[in-house]
Each structure stands twice: as structure tokens, then as C-alpha cells.
């Protein structure tokens, strides 16, 4: 039997595991009982269970990923070498051209992940520059709005 050890949702709404809208009552059952989670998983098709496992593996890889422990890419490396290194790191996490739109709302999220994989984070920029906010969040949001991966109708 496939198990989901804990509910992955933060509340009622769209469940990324079951790929369905869930009401507050269903969320409460899922978040409070292993028996209910097992039951919900038993209702899934084999393909849905496979997809759930793949997404859980990617989610865990993303949570465990620490760009600080990787050696930074040489600033003198060619653009192609840097791009290949970033693509390689994203593939290690489990994100590739087939599924990037599932884990990124738009271009802003992807740029943020790429910069993070290079060790460039909002916190690091703020610390190095000695400023209180670099505006990364607003630029990320702006890029997501003008270059979304899905139309609002597709969501």
C-alpha cells in the first residue's frame, strides 16, 4: 500500500497531491488522520499514485537542497558552462523541461531557483550590500505576472 505520512496542504483549497479542490472538512480529515490519508490514496489511480510519488521526491529534494554546500560556479566560466551547471543541479532536484511549469508559477520563480542554485539569494544580496531589501520579491512577482507558465484559464 502507498502511504502519505502527513498532509502536504496548508489548508482547504487545491490539493497538489490529489490534484483536486478539497473543502475544509476533507482537509481536516486528511490533516488529522493517517487512516483517512490511506483511504484517499486508495481512491487514486495507479498513474496518480506514481505522479504523487514523483512529486513528493521532488518536493523532498527541494526542501533538502542547500546551494551553500555546493561550491559556487566559477565566475569566469562560459555562459554555456554556467547554464549547463544550473540545468544539472535542477535535474538533480528533479525539475526539468517536462515539469518546470508545475513547480514555478512563471519566469520569476525559475530565475529565483536558478540564482539560488548559484548561491545568489535575497538574504545574501542584502547582507553583502548592507541594505534592507533588494526588491527581489517584487521583480520575481513582476516576471511571474508578465511571463506566466499557464494562462489563468488553465489553472
In the chain (155 residues long), the average pLDDT of successive 10-residue segments reads 68 78 87 86 83 76 68 69 76 74 79 75 74 77 84 52
Same structural domain for residues 55 and 85?
no
Residue 124: predicted pLDDT: 75
What is the SS3 assignment for 15?
strand
The one-character DSSP state at 11 is S
Decide which of 21, 41, 64 is a domain's last residue: 64
What is the SS3 assignment for 106?
strand
Residue 1: predicted pLDDT: 40
Decide which of 30, 64, 98 is a domain's last residue: 64
Same structural domain for residues 152 and 118?
yes
Same structural domain for residues 52 and 80?
no
Decide which of 45, 64, 83 is a domain's last residue: 64
Residue 137: predicted pLDDT: 81
* Angular region, 94: left φ>0, alpha ψ -120 to 50, beta rest: left
* Angular region, 49: left φ>0, alpha ψ -120 to 50, beta rest: alpha
Same structural domain for residues 12 and 47?
yes
Residue 68: predicted pLDDT: 64
Residue carrying C-alpha cell 489563468: 152
Structural domain including 21 reads: 1-64
Same structural domain for residues 57 and 77?
no
Phi then psi for 39, rounded to 5 degrees?
-65, -45
Q: What is the dihedral of CA 16, 100, 147, 48, to 10 degrees?
A: -30
Same structural domain for residues 79 and 144?
yes
User: What is the chain's length?
Assistant: 155
Same structural domain for residues 56 and 126?
no
Same structural domain for residues 108 and 78?
yes
Same structural domain for residues 31 and 81?
no
Same structural domain for residues 54 and 79?
no
Domain count for the chain, please give it: 2
* Angular region, 8: left φ>0, alpha ψ -120 to 50, beta rest: alpha
Residue 77: predicted pLDDT: 76
3-state percent breakdown (helix, strand, coil) of the chain, nearest 5: 60, 5, 35
Residue 44: predicted pLDDT: 83
Same structural domain for residues 147 and 87?
yes
Same structural domain for residues 36 and 11?
yes
Amino acid at each position: 500500500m502507498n502511504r502519505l505520512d502527513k498532509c502536504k496542504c496548508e489548508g482547504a483549497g487545491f490539493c497538489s497531491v490529489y490534484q483536486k479542490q478539497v473543502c475544509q472538512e476533507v482537509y481536516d480529515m486528511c490533516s488529522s488522520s493517517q487512516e483517512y490519508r490511506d483511504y484517499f490514496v486508495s481512491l487514486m489511480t495507479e498513474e496518480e499514485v506514481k505522479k504523487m510519488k514523483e512529486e513528493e521526491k521532488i518536493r523532498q529534494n527541494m526542501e533538502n537542497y542547500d546551494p551553500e554546500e555546493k561550491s559556487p560556479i566559477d565566475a569566469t566560466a562560459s555562459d554555456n558552462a554556467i547554464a549547463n551547471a544550473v540545468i544539472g543541479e535542477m535535474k538533480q532536484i528533479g525539475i526539468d523541461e517536462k515539469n518546470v511549469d508545475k513547480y514555478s508559477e512563471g519566469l520569476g520563480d525559475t530565475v529565483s531557483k536558478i540564482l539560488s542554485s548559484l548561491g545568489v539569494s535575497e538574504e545574501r544580496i542584502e547582507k553583502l550590500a548592507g541594505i534592507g531589501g533588494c526588491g527581489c520579491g517584487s521583480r520575481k512577482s513582476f516576471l511571474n505576472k508578465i511571463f506566466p507558465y499557464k494562462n489563468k484559464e488553465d489553472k
